Amino acid sequence: MPGEVLSLLAPRPGEIFLDGTVGGGGHARLILEATSPNGVLIGLDRDPQALAQAASVLAPFGDRVILRHGNFSEAAALLPDLGIAALDGMLLDLGVSSFQLDSMERGFSFRHEAPLDMRMDPTTGISAAEVLNTAEADELTRIFREFGEERWAGRIARRIVRTRQERPLTSTEELAELVRQSVPGGYAPARIHPATRVFQALRIFVNDELAHVSRGVSGAIDLLKPGGRLAVISFHSLEDRIVKRMFQAETSGCICPPRLPVCNCGHVPRLDLLTRKGVRAAAAEVESNPRARSAVLRAVRRRP
Ligand SMILES: C[S@@+](CC[C@H](N)C(=O)[O-])C[C@H]1O[C@@H](n2cnc3c(N)ncnc32)[C@H](O)[C@@H]1O
């Protein structure tokens, strides 16, 4: 949704933007063009490979671009070192990129045979294989249910535990096949592959994605100048729910429990909503990029 993002973020010449998920640099390039000739863009990504790609795409903008390897949930700690105190705008385009999904060796997709890694930042944390081969059945059930809304979570978890008693699970194809065997009708034609939810759940867990979204959105609001804009694109309902609730809390006046007869919270809204409802990708974009079907864009502006 580059057009919609640009119109909500409204970048102007000379402004300072932070792209917390710079990825392949597509949105960043548009922001740099709109802030020309002297705007600055700080691009973060937790994936060093994505950052390398962004560096080559954004090279023509020279020293107007500052790229850093890091998590957007820690953006506040980074800005003082760059001599920047506040931002005119910030973008979070959440989740995994097509580049990551198509990088076979990363293990994000059940469509490619690969080691079960799934870390966006391979320099830290534990891989999906480590989770699958060590977590208790109850914990695996919780992960598949909570982060994948998987109906057959318990069955799949128990089969994983049985299988790993004979040999550790190591590959994407092995896991996809195990899920197929665990769910009723796993081999029948279906709209989505039966392993879709389990792969999503593992990826969210391995990368602790939801906690970073909460911390990242809250930190972003603090970093905005008066009048500064924040746009967030979510790719599943778990992320979108967090963003929607945080925006609602920061745009409403009273946040007292409904049973209180008189307001005593003294809450002052810090934001104005720029999108009353989540914005969805236009049909033409979904046709050329089917992943855009799940995207929801929300934006806010910091009050003066
Ligand atoms: C959907 S892509 C972004 C694509 C980008 N907007 C573009 O135009 O090319 C998401 C990117 O965000 C990164 N990412 C996801 N969560 C992150 C986090 N918490 N901190 C930093 N980067 C993150 C991923 O590594 C991935 O490269």
DSSP string, 216-282: HHHHHHHHEEEEEEEEEEESSHHHHHHHHHHHHHHH-S--S-TT-SS--------EEES-SS-EE--
Which DSSP category does 96 fall into? -
Contact 116, 169 (CB under 8 A): yes
| Residue 185, phi then psi, degrees to nearest 5 | 70, 25
Predicted structure pTM score = 0.95
Q: Whose CA is nearest to atom 15 of ligand 1?
A: 95
User: Closest Cα partner for 129 from 166, 189, 174?
Assistant: 174
Please give the structure tokens belonging to residue 93. 């385009």
Strand 224-234 versus strand 296-302 pairing type:
antiparallel
The predicted structure's pLDDT at residue 251:
93
Strand 16-19 versus strand 40-45 pairing type:
parallel
Taking the centre of ligand 1 as the mean of its atom positions, its distance from the CA of residue 25, in whole angstroms, is: 10
The predicted structure's pLDDT at residue 155:
97
Which comes out higher in pLDDT, residue 10 or 266? 10
Tell me, rounded to whole angstroms, the distance of Cα 206 from its chain centroid: 13
The pLDDT of residue 189 is above 90:
no
Confidence of residue 267 (pLDDT cuts 50, 70, 90): confident
The predicted structure's pLDDT at residue 211:
98
Contact 75, 216 (CB under 8 A): yes
Contact 250, 221 (CB under 8 A): yes
The predicted structure's pLDDT at residue 256:
87
Ligand 1 atom having least distance to the Cα of 23: 27
Instruction: Find the residues whose C-beta lies inside 6 A of ligand 1.
Output: 20-21, 23-27, 44-47, 50, 71-73, 93, 95, 97, 120, 212
Confidence of residue 177 (pLDDT cuts 50, 70, 90): very high
CA 208 to CA 92: how far, in whole Å? Answer: 16
Confidence of residue 216 (pLDDT cuts 50, 70, 90): very high
| Residue 195, phi then psi, degrees to nearest 5 | -90, 0
Give 79-101 pLDDT, tens digit per residue.
999 999 999 999 999 999 988 99
Tell me, rounded to whole angstroms, the distance of Cα 130 from its chain centroid: 22
Taking the centre of ligand 1 as the mean of its atom positions, its distance from the CA of residue 134, in whole angstroms, is: 28
Ligand 1 atom having least distance to the Cα of 28: 8
Q: What is the mean pLDDT of residues 20-44?
A: 98
The predicted structure's pLDDT at residue 291:
83
| Residue 41, phi then psi, degrees to nearest 5 | -125, 125
H or E stretch including 146?
Answer: helix 137-148
Mean pLDDT, the chain, whole residue set: 95
Ligand 1 atom having least distance to the Cα of 213: 19
Contact 146, 201 (CB under 8 A): yes
